[in-house]
């Protein structure tokens, strides 16, 4: 079971290194947040991730005890983590140069409505939520569960904040919002 935890943790750390440039990009985006709430939500997500990763490291090393041991749940956690990692890169590819963590517009910004953005308006957040739920399943404890809940709430709130920002600032976003009805989960929300 420990090897699954190490594999999950290594996958997350590789993603963090490549996707967030080891945290450098995240810190830069937090500093350039367009609103205090946007910055606070990014900090809440980062804090939740830190709790899950430190807990995961402790469980993988055998220093902390998980709430339960379940091989099938650990496999599901690893697969969700991998799906989330793949989904974040796939969705970010569709945004191209328009990708930022903070709610912001780039020069000549336009609505991206192809690929995963034709299904939900914030597929990176959907994928990241899957990633963190996977981590929570891989490293089960009440505090990792609380951290994952904080992350999910932060991403949901951030999606709503970005919708309002883009609706007001990006021509064509209101029409896109009508066409692509769901923020994070197709058929649900």
Domains assigned to the chain: 2-179 (1.20.120.1630)
User: Which helix (DSSP H) or strand (DSSP E) does residue 184 occupy?
Assistant: none
pLDDT at position 138: 95
| Cα–Cα dist 8/3, whole Å | 9
Q: At what angle do helices 71-95 and 123-138 cross, to 10 degrees?
A: 160
pLDDT (tens, 9 = 90+) of the chain, 189 residues, equals 788 899 999 999 899 888 877 555 555 555 556 678 877 888 898 899 999 999 999 998 889 888 888 999 999 999 999 999 999 999 988 887 777 666 666 677 788 888 899 999 999 999 999 999 999 999 999 999 999 999 999 999 999 988 998 898 888 989 999 999 999 998 787
The answer to whether 127 and 58 have CB atoms below 8 angstroms apart is no
| Cα–Cα dist 82/80, whole Å | 5
Question: Between the CA of residue 7 and those of 95, 143, 172, what are the distances in Å?
Answer: 29, 21, 42
User: Which helix (DSSP H) or strand (DSSP E) does residue 51 occupy?
Assistant: helix 36-60
- How many Cβ atoms sit within 10 Å of the Cβ of residue 7? 16
Beta-strand ranges (E) seen in 31-149 are none
Backbone φ and ψ of 4, nearest 5° = -65, -40
Contacts of 5 (CB under 8 A, 6+ apart): 56, 59, 60, 74, 138, 139
DSSP, res 170: S
């Amino acid at each position: 079971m420990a090897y699954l935890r190490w594999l999950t943790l290594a996958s997350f750390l590789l993603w963090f290194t490549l996707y967030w440039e080891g945290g450098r990009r995240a810190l830069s985006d937090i500093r350039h947040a367009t609103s205090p709430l946007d910055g606070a939500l990014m900090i809440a997500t980062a804090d939740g991730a830190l709790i899950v990763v430190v807990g995961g490291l402790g469980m993988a090393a055998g220093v902390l005890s998980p709430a339960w041991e379940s091989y099938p749940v650990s496999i599901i956690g690893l697969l969700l983590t991998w799906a989330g990692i793949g989904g974040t890169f796939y969705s970010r590819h569709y945004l191209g140069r328009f990708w930022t963590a903070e709610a912001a517009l780039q020069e000549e910004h336009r609505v991206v409505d192809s690929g995963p953005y034709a299904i939900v308006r914030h597929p990176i957040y959907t994928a990241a939520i899957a990633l963190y739920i996977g981590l929570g399943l891989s490293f089960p404890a009440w505090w990792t569960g609380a951290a994952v809940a904080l992350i999910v709430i932060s991403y949901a709130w951030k999606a709503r904040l970005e919708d309002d920002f883009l609706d007001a600032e990006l021509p064509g976003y209101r029409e896109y919002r009508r066409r692509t009805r769901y923020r994070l989960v197709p058929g649900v929300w």
